[in-house]
Structure 1
Amino acid sequence: MQTTSRGFEALCEYLRAYTESDRFTSLASETQALEEDLAEIRYSVHIRGDRVRVGEYGGEADYSAEVEKTFAKFRQGTVKDYRVRFSDPPDMDHVEARILDLVARLHPEVFDALDVYHERHRDYLDGVIGAFDREVQFYLAYLEYIKRFEGAGLTFCYPQVSDESKEVRAEEAFDLALADKLVLEGSTVVCNDFYLKDPERIFVVTGPNQGGKTTFARMFGQLHYLASLGLPVPARRARLFLPDRIFTHFEREEDLGTLRGKLEDELVRIHDILKQTTSDSILVVNEIFTSTTLEDALVLGAAVMKRIAALDVPCVYVTFVDELASFGESTVSMVGTVVPDNPTLRTYKVVRKPADGLAYAAALAEKYGLTYNALRKRVAR
């Protein structure tokens, strides 16, 4: 079989060298010789009541063949098989183990050689081959897993990857975790596109609640994580950055054991993340500083954004603070959109456009008769 994969080519070369090594050839020859010796062992088992006796085989008749011969004359064409099938577990039961012990006593030279063989080759499994055997099971399981999505019309691709260029893009990408749930329900999965061009590095995602912002952030992290594992990613086409690490900051419930409030906990967590982040990392920050005032959230958010921009890392920053969407040349504004004629309905599409939280609020107020002019008319009555 021909392969163009550098990984598989390296594995084939390693296996070729391994099978030609003295270690493997001696193991193979010893194994074959021992198997032949064990295959030559013959013994008889005498069962009487609850007693089992094991002895040397003396040419006794094979009663199973005699029984089959006796009942062969009753066979009349194809009939229903009424025989009970017993399970054959891989481990021996206590009776079988005791019989084997007695057989070993009858043929000590062969079983002594088996003990020596076991001790000599206790660590027979090569480390590289063992690691490949474990890890390939994961990759095969993943390929089997994504078939359910492909059946629903969703596409996967092997992305172009780079550990230098931070210009990333994806077409028709989706959040794998959400898609798993929606496909089982028979619901539609909304896909999104994105791209970053130098000097762009940070997606600032704003828009209405429950509009797909967090899903977009998760999707961005998933794409880069799956790509770093060498797996097909949930997108039609993608070009992604290979990071040294992926850091995420998502909202958590307050932990009474830390004796910290929510704001303090968020500050401690984002401080620790930024301290570990390098210019080769990926960062996903979702809805930070929601427990404080808009003014404080703007000040704190600007400080965090300044640090992220200085690190020059690809980042998704989900926020309710529209002002952060125009922080600088490294930021790109992405907005979760709504149906134009009915702003209460989400499209779950996240697109590149200026933050328009106030416009969205004004549309809602207009829809429900809560604008300034509408309220004045109602009060005047």
Structure 2
Amino acid sequence: MTDSLPSVLFTDPRDADATSDEQPPFFTDLNLDQVVGALTSGRKDYDLAAVFHTPIRNAATIRHRHEVFRDLEDPELVREIGAFAGRMREMRRQLAQADKLRHPYQRETWFLDAVATYGDAVGNLADSLERLSPASAGLTAFRDFLTGYRTGDAFTESTERARNLRTRLSEIQYNLHITGSRIRVSAYQDQADYGAEVIGVFEKFQQGEAKDHRVAYRSTVDMNHVEEAVLDRVAWLFPDVFAELDTYCERHRDCLDPTVVAFDREIQFYLAYLEFIAPLEDAGLPFCRPRVEDASKEEYGEDVFDLALAAKLVEERTPVVTNHFELSGPERVIVVSGPNQGGKTTFARTFGQLHHLAALGCPVPGRRARLFLCDQLFTHFERGENLTDLSGKLHDDLIRVHDILDRATSSSVVVMNEVFTSTTLSDAVLLGTRVLKSVIDRDLLCVCVTFVDELASLGPSTVSMVSTVVPDDPATRTYRVVRKPADGLAHALAIAEKYALTYRQLKERIAS
């Protein structure tokens, strides 16, 4: 961040240049494409997707964003910034409308309105930031900039002249003399206005509510040729004010300050995220600013949950199950086993989402969290069989895993979901063991969802977590994933379900 261009998003201008419109490969696996789609809905003008696509790789910028989020816990500050954004949207609408108009004087008056709207947006926000005194470096720097900018000669001259011109234009009075198809325009010379008198005369004849026979004319911004001709003659009658209007618009064509425009876009990152999580917080789900580490790989998450799934469940008024995890000391790999449809994949997505959201500097879904600031995030989720690919699913799995291990560094995070399911159990054990040992050798942080319980006990680097069921009814999932040794039932239960031999299925068959 420089003194001339304060930013609420970046401390290093190079990070701003590194944003990318391209969606990261892991977004679909982690359902982050759904989250970003919701975040950017209704905000297409701001190009926010690029910011949400691009994680930050330095802890200073993460802290910078955390401070801004902390300031925005003040609802009054959020309202004032929201009002500023609304005025800036109105200004852009006015400028866009001005560009579409044919007549130069009409185009210039719309531009004049846009400048006045911009001046109100800047002035009101400057007053609000002075009064509310945000503490974050980002908002404080912008407040200081705005204080100097709005008292500067350029801003004062452009806004004051715009207001003065609007007042002078609004005070113009003229007469229209309509005779058949001929219209004559003349200066107003204190002619009497008998409108109120005529209405008063006819009021005495009023007998209750009468049907309104007035015709509603179509109202459009564009003027027709008659209106344009009238405006030309009005300008001829008042040459001084319209000449000043021409001069003003020519001199102040580029009156918008790039720092103000940048702030209007950047603050939407925060407003969009807070708006998205508000219904979840109202439903009782916790969010926190995580402790982000760029050295230690010891991690924990308390009451964490899948953000995309939670948004859907809250909308459906369905309870959201939260989970906990912890990695300490040499622990790097979480191996998740347990029955199918028990929340294993959701847990894996949660782990990946947490690391990406933490790298954006956003509050993460959970009561408390400590997360490693990774350099890359990789996912390997099971894909369906591709009938056009003759190499087969196992070959595809091996190629994809090899590519991940080839590109990953010791600072990367890997999320693997149901790898090598297309082969035999013995081959899955062999391949899975070799892959996880490679992950461990590279010191990667990893979550691996698998039906192979043997992978959960490869040494001190691995942690076993198991999706649980209701003890009295093994067919009922709790969707909780807890830290405990793999119980060896995951594969057996999957086989039992396949052949209709589970406790519930047998009980139903006996009862029938």
**Distance change >3 Å, CA 112–CA 357, structure 1 → 2:** farther
Alignment partner of 1:38 out of 146, 150, 169: 169
Q: Deviations over 1:214-235 (max 9, x none)?
A: 1101111222223333333221
Which residue is equivalent to 1:12?
Answer: 143
Alignment partner of 1:92 out of 209, 213, 221: 221
Alignment partner of 2:400 out of 242, 246, 269: 269
| Distance in 2 separating the partners of 1:33 and 1:328 | 77
| Distance in 2 separating the partners of 1:222 and 1:37 | 57
| Distance in 1 separating the partners of 2:262 and 2:277 | 23
| Distance in 2 separating the partners of 1:279 and 1:13 | 41
Alignment partner of 1:315 out of 446, 450, 454: 446
Q: How does 1:54-203 map to 2 (within 5 A)?
A: 55-62=186-193, 65=196, 92-95=221-224, 98=228, 100=231, 103-104=234-235, 107=238, 110-111=241-242, 113-203=244-334
The question of whether the paired residues in 2 share the 8 Å contact of 1:3 and 1:9 is answered with yes
**Distance change >3 Å, CA 7–CA 364, structure 1 → 2:** same
- Taking structure 2 as the reference length, the TM-score comes to 0.60
Tell me which moved more, 205-214 or 165-174: 165-174
**Distance change >3 Å, CA 47–CA 121, structure 1 → 2:** same
Alignment partner of 1:206 out of 337, 342, 357: 337
Which residue is equivalent to 1:220?
Answer: 351
| Distance in 1 separating the partners of 2:200 and 2:404 | 78
Instruction: Say whether 1:248 aligns with 2:393.
Output: no
Q: Which has the greater radius of gyration? A: 1
Instruction: Say whether 1:301 aligns with 2:400.
Output: no
Letter in 1 for 2:271: L
Letter in 2 for 1:92: V
The question of whether the paired residues in 2 share the 8 Å contact of 1:343 and 1:360 is answered with no
The question of whether the paired residues in 2 share the 8 Å contact of 1:343 and 1:363 is answered with no
The question of whether the paired residues in 1 share the 8 Å contact of 2:334 and 2:465 is answered with yes
| Distance in 2 separating the partners of 1:80 and 1:132 | 54
Letter in 2 for 1:155: P
The question of whether the paired residues in 1 share the 8 Å contact of 2:291 and 2:369 is answered with yes
Which residue is equivalent to 2:3?
Answer: none
The question of whether the paired residues in 2 share the 8 Å contact of 1:175 and 1:234 is answered with yes
1:346, CA displacement in angstroms? 1.1
1:150, CA displacement in angstroms? 2.8
| Distance in 2 separating the partners of 1:81 and 1:162 | 74
The question of whether the paired residues in 2 share the 8 Å contact of 1:201 and 1:314 is answered with yes
Tell me which moved more, 53-62 or 125-134: 53-62
| Distance in 2 separating the partners of 1:150 and 1:369 | 42
**Distance change >3 Å, CA 118–CA 203, structure 1 → 2:** farther
1:201, CA displacement in angstroms? 1.8
Letter in 2 for 1:324: L
Q: Deviations over 1:241-286 (max 9, x none)?
A: 3333433222334556666533333333334444443333332222
| Distance in 2 separating the partners of 1:259 and 1:111 | 75
Alignment partner of 1:282 out of 371, 394, 413: 413
Alignment partner of 2:463 out of 301, 314, 332: 332
Tell me which moved more, 33-42 or 194-203: 33-42
| Distance in 2 separating the partners of 1:259 and 1:41 | 79
| Distance in 2 separating the partners of 1:65 and 1:9 | 55
| Distance in 1 separating the partners of 2:204 and 2:343 | 75
Which residue is equivalent to 2:87?
Answer: none
Tell me which moved more, 339-348 or 103-112: 103-112
Alignment partner of 1:361 out of 463, 478, 492: 492
Q: Which runs of 5+ in 2 are unaligned?
A: 1-131, 504-512
1:11, CA displacement in angstroms? 2.2
| Distance in 2 separating the partners of 1:187 and 1:199 | 38
Q: Which runs of 5+ in 1 are unaligned?
A: 372-381
- Taking structure 1 as the reference length, the TM-score comes to 0.78
Number of aligned residue pairs: 370
Letter in 1 for 2:467: G
1:193, CA displacement in angstroms? 0.7
